Structure 1
Amino acid sequence: MMKKITSVTKKIGLLLTGLAAASLLLAGCGAGQQTERSAEGAQSAEGSSGGYPQRAIEYVVPYAAGGGVDLVARAVAEKLSEKWGQPVNVVNKPGGGGATGAQYALKQAQPDGYTVMANVVSLGSMMTAGYTNPPVKAEDQIFVSRIVQDVPAFTVKSDAQWQSFEEFSEWVKANPENLTWTTSGVAGFSSFAVAEWLNEIGVDISKTRMIVTKGTAESIPLVAGGNAVLAVHPVSEVSAMAEAGKLKILAVSGEERSPYFPDVPTAREQGIENLSAFWWTGVSMAKGTPDEVVQKWDEALAELAEDPDFTAKLETLKLQPSYLNQQQYQQFLQKETDYYTELASKLGLRK
């Protein structure tokens, strides 16, 4: 009897050993597939000699040309092309609220540093907060550096009846069903800026009407023409129409007035506190991009933040430099994502 038990035990041991070996083989194959793209990226980035970059770089903007993200990317590309002696080419890939271009840059292109992405708040913290399964995830990318920031401008048509943000907010409290506002989607910058404001003044956002647009180029004419009541975009994106007298900025929601519209009071000055949403853009790369490439971009962007020519260019765009290095950027994003996720969950915006 003892011999039979020993024989069975040996057979079970051999079976388990075989299963373990097979599991290790399968795991090795999976790991190989996951690291293959990274290895190819590292090899491509190193090149034969001379270091990165050795050829043209594709700087993907996931939006149409002419918006704030695009203009910043072009200013960066111009300076880095001069610095590195290689073309940094801005390529616009709009669609899906930014998801189309982001998926191309972060998942389809090789992670070799020759495809980078212009990131923005709506593709970073807001995308994660707005969707339980976002099409662009934080874990899909390396957040390299933040470059600039801007404050929201609450904007209505030039001949609108309201003369102040306080007066407008009182009207919205009394007539929430008459408020129409533009946004690029659930995770759009405008969605969170509007949601934060409505929450602060005690208005149920579900009683208002969201109008989804393809971006600023479509949104602003809707408001200027009276086909939507409110647009909330960064100051830089509404400035031209405001200066031309086609839009009226009722308030900016920053700690201080915008240096570009010093006569426009902040929301806080008009009795509306706790509006903290703001716009920013930076650079992201695909996971697996070589560390030395990431570092080279981070260091170059840090230098640009101190470059008088670059900061002067930002001033013409009505933008403010706001550099964060890779570590600071990650910490900032985590805090901002937590805040927006809580807000979206509270207001029923999370999809």
Structure 2
Amino acid sequence: MKRALALALTLWCGAAIIPLARGQTAGSDYPQRAVAFLCPFPAGGGTDILTRMLAQELQEKLARPVIVDNRPGAGTIVAAQAAARALPDGHTILLAPVTTLAMAPSVHKSLPYEPVKDFAPIGLVASAHFALVANPQVAATTLPELIAFIRNKDGELSYATSGAATPHHLFMAMFLKMIGAKAQHVPYRGSVAALTDVISGQVAMMMVDLAVAMPAIHDGKVKAFGLTGTMRTKAMPDLPTIAEAGLPGYAARPWFSV
């Protein structure tokens, strides 16, 4: 299972974590205490999975506890604000997805943090595969059929996200714009809660982290219609990209930084 999750994420751990661990001088006493690793989403989601994988590796390198601290809310703003207000001594680290550093500043007129001034960048650590999934009761088996179904519903369908201005939200908004259709946005505090309601039928569809959705896809609890990126993944080699499946030109893939 861990290997499948790693395949659903493209990890660049060595680009950030190892330099952080080895970048201290021989006489450095860092870290002096446990390191807090802030995650901007609830436990169980794709970002949380990535944070815990990195925290484990960092803990082994530093020989000090690295504690994952989930701070969900406001589309990653809660965690980012906490990190910005923490003492600048290296004992608070933020897993910052594209939402925090690029999407939120583009969407919100003001933020309680300054993306450039308030953080010291360490590096990019991963990108993720996202997939378009829907409840099995949705009357479509292919992407063209799903597009036609959404258009015919004329705004009646709803889609779940992990919050406003997140990849889950903006990737779906871009998809809807490209197909010339509307749907109702239902934000949640994380992708696990959102996917749960797609499975139950409370919400029709969503763009979701593949690492989170794979078990539900394999068990037939949701239908998968395509990946948001430009390439397929070894984790699910038979799942085409959205562009391959019937919407040429569609491409979106999130990145994560520390």
Quickly name the TM-score band, shorter chain normalised. Answer: 0.7 to 0.9
| Deviations 1:137-161, CA, capped at 9 Å, x for gaps | 4223233211111122000113432
In the aligned structure 1, how far is the partner of 2:120 from the partner of 2:50?
A: 19
Q: Secondary structure at the match of 2:38?
A: strand
Q: 2:168 aligns with which of 190, 210, 216?
A: 190
RMSD: 1.9
Are 1:69 and 2:44 an aligned pair? no
The answer (yes or no) to whether the contact 2:225–2:245 under 8 Å persists in 1 is no
Would you say the 8 A contact 2:75–2:164 is kept in 1?
Answer: no
Question: Paired residue for 1:113?
Answer: 90
SS in 1 for 2:120: strand
Return the offset for 1:278. Answer: 1.2
1:50-199 pair list within 5 angstroms: 50-107=28-85, 109-139=86-116, 140-199=118-177
Q: Distance in 1 between matches of 2:41 and 2:240?
A: 30
Other structure's SS at 1:149 match: strand
* Deviations 1:62-110, CA, capped at 9 Å, x for gaps: 2211111111111111112111211211112222232222211112x10
What letter is aligned with 2:236?
A: F
**Contact persistence 1:154–1:232 (CA under 8 A):** yes
Matches within 5 A, 1:20-39: none
Answer yes or no: is 1:279 the counterpart of 2:257. no
Find the aligned partners of 1:234 and 1:248 in 2 and give their Cα distance. 14
Q: Partner of 1:215 in structure 2?
A: 190
SS in 1 for 2:122: strand
1:210: how far off? 0.6
2:170 and 2:239 map into 1 onto residues whose CA distance is 21
Structure 2's unaligned 5+ residue stretches are: 1-23
| Contact 1:62 1:95 survives alignment (8 Å) | yes
Letter in 2 for 1:186: A
Instruction: Give the length in aligned residue pairs.
Output: 233
Which TM-score applies when normalising by structure 1?
0.62
Q: Is the 8 A contact 2:158 2:203 kept in 1?
A: yes
Q: CA, structure 1 residues 165+156, in 2 after alignment: closer, same or farther (shift >3 Å)?
A: same
Which of 231, 234, 247 is the matching residue for 2:222? 247
The list of structure 1 runs, each at least 4 consecutive aligned residues, that deviate by more than 6 angstroms after superposition, is none
Secondary structure of 2:224 counterpart:
strand
Greater radius of gyration (CA): 1
Q: How many percent of aligned residue pairs carry the same amino acid?
A: 27
Structure 1 residues without counterparts, runs of 5 or longer? 1-45, 284-351
Deviations 1:206-229 (A, max 9, x none): x42111111112111111111111
- 2:121 alignment partner, SS class: strand
State the distance in 1 between where 2:75 and 2:246 align.
33
Q: What is the DSSP-based 3-state SS (H/G/I as helix, E as strand, rest coil) of the residue aligned with 2:176?
A: helix
Q: Which one has the bigger helix percentage?
A: 1
Q: CA deviation at 1:114?
A: 0.6
